[in-house]
Amino acid sequence: MKIAIIAEKPSVAREIAAIVGATDKKDGYLSGNNYYVTWALGHLVGLAMPEEYGISGFSKEHLPITPQSFKLIPRQIKTGKGYKADTGALKQLKVIESVFNKCDRIIVATDAGREGELIFRYIYNYIGCTKPFDRLWISSLTDKAIKEGLENLKDGSEYDRLYYAAQARSEADWLVGINATQALSIAAGRGIFSLGRVQTPTLSMVCFRYLEHINFVPTPYWELLLDTSSGPQEFSATTKERIPSRSIAKELFEKQRQQRTVIVQSVEKKEVSQEPPLLYDLTTLQKEANSKYSFSAEKTLSIAQKLYESKFITYPRTGSRYISDDIFNEIPELIAKLSKYNIFASYTGKMADINLNIRPVDNKKVTDHHALLITGNIPEKIGYDERKLYDMIAGRMLEAFSDKCIKDQTTVLLNCADVLYEAKGSVMKVAGWREVFNEKEEGKENNKNLPILTEGGELSVSRVQLLEKLTKAKPLHTEASLLAAMETAGKELSDEEQRSALKDCGIGTPATRASIIETLFSRDYMFREKKSLIPTEKGLAVYNAVKDKRIADVEMTGMWEQTFAKIERGDAEAENFKKGIEVYAGQITDELLNTELALPQKEVAFCPKCNKEAIFYPKVVKCSDAGCGLMLFTSLAGKTLPEDIIRVLLLGKQTPLVKGFKSKAGKFFDAALTLDEEYKIKFIFDNNSNKGNRSKKKQ
Q: What is the CATH number of the domain that holds 111?
A: 3.40.50.140
* Virtual torsion, Cα 186, 192, 195, 201, nearest 10 deg: -110
Compute the distance between CA of residue 218 and CA of residue 201 in angstroms, rounded to an integer. 28
Percent residues over pLDDT 90 in the chain: 64
631-645 burial code (b ≥16 CB/10 A, e <16): ebebebbeeebeeeb
Do both 7 and 139 map to the same domain?
A: yes
Q: How confident is the model at residue 444 (pLDDT cuts 50, 70, 90)?
A: low
CA atoms within 13 A on the CB side of 650: 28
Strands 3-7 and 45-47, by their bridges, are unpaired
Task: Tell me if 625 is assigned to some domain.
Answer: yes
Do both 244 and 206 map to the same domain?
A: no
- Tell me the DSSP string of 501-527: HTGGGSSS-TTTHHHHHHHHHHTTSEE
Asked if residue 316 lies in contact with residue 304, where contact means CB atoms within 8 angstroms, the answer is yes
Compute the distance between CA of residue 623 and CA of residue 642 in angstroms, rounded to an integer. 18
Do both 185 and 94 map to the same domain?
A: no
Q: 272: Cβ–Cβ under 8 A, 6 or more apart, which residues?
A: 406, 407, 408, 409, 426
Q: Could you list the residue range(s) of the whole structural domain that residue 630 is in?
A: 605-693
Q: Is the pLDDT of residue 459 over 80?
A: yes
In 3-state terms, what secondary structure has residue 482? helix
Choosing from 414, 439, 470, the residue where a domain stops is 470
Q: Is the pLDDT of residue 117 over 80?
A: yes
Inter-CA distances, 367 with 112, 113, 362, Å: 11, 10, 11
Compute the distance between CA of residue 195 and CA of residue 147 in angstroms, rounded to an integer. 44
Task: Tell me if 162 is assigned to some domain.
Answer: no
Compute the distance between CA of residue 439 and CA of residue 424 in angstroms, rounded to an integer. 20
What's the whole-number mean pLDDT along residues 409-426? 95
Catalytic residues: 315
Asked if residue 126 lies in contact with residue 93, where contact means CB atoms within 8 angstroms, the answer is yes
The pLDDT value recorded for residue 696 is 44
Task: Tell me if 90 is assigned to some domain.
Answer: yes
Q: How many Cβ atoms are within 10 Å of 488's Cβ, its own excluded? A: 20
Choosing from 565, 593, 621, the residue where a domain stops is 593
pTM over 0.85? The answer is no
Do both 307 and 361 map to the same domain?
A: yes
List the beta bridge partners of residue 135. 108, 154
Q: Is the pLDDT of residue 347 over 70?
A: yes
Task: Tell me if 157 is assigned to some domain.
Answer: no
What's the whole-number mean pLDDT along residues 398-402? 96
Pick from 380, 369, 360, 383: which is nearest to 295 by CA? Answer: 383
Q: Is the pLDDT of residue 667 over 60?
A: yes
Do both 67 and 199 map to the same domain?
A: no
Q: Is the pLDDT of residue 448 over 70?
A: yes
Do both 298 and 385 map to the same domain?
A: yes
Do both 357 and 425 map to the same domain?
A: no
- Summarised one tens digit per residue, pLDDT across range 614-654 is 888 767 888 888 788 888 988 888 888 888 888 889 998 89
Task: Tell me if 159 is assigned to some domain.
Answer: no
Do both 465 and 560 map to the same domain?
A: no
Do both 383 and 315 map to the same domain?
A: yes
The pLDDT value recorded for residue 443 is 57
Compute the distance between CA of residue 384 and CA of residue 388 in angstroms, rounded to an integer. 6
Identify the CATH number of the domain in which residue 298 sits. Answer: 1.10.290.10
Do both 291 and 325 map to the same domain?
A: yes
In 3-state terms, what secondary structure has residue 366? coil
Q: Is the pLDDT of residue 501 over 80?
A: no
Identify the CATH number of the domain in which residue 465 sits. Answer: 2.70.20.10
Q: Is the pLDDT of residue 188 over 90?
A: no
Asked if residue 482 lies in contact with residue 206, where contact means CB atoms within 8 angstroms, the answer is yes
- Summarised one tens digit per residue, pLDDT across range 153-169 is 999 999 999 999 999 99
In 3-state terms, what secondary structure has residue 307? helix
Do both 409 and 266 map to the same domain?
A: yes
Q: What's the burial of 317, exposed, middle or buried (CB within 10 Å: 0-12/13-18/19+)?
A: buried
Task: Tell me if 599 is assigned to some domain.
Answer: no
Task: Tell me if 698 is assigned to some domain.
Answer: no
Compute the distance between CA of residue 283 and CA of residue 483 in angstroms, rounded to an integer. 7
Choosing from 340, 369, 400, the residue where a domain stops is 400
Q: Is the pLDDT of residue 319 over 70?
A: yes
Total domain count for the chain? 5
Task: Tell me if 475 is assigned to some domain.
Answer: no
Average pLDDT, the chain: 89
Do both 194 and 130 map to the same domain?
A: no
Asked if residue 605 lies in contact with residue 650, where contact means CB atoms within 8 angstroms, the answer is yes
- In eight-state DSSP terms, residue 642 is P
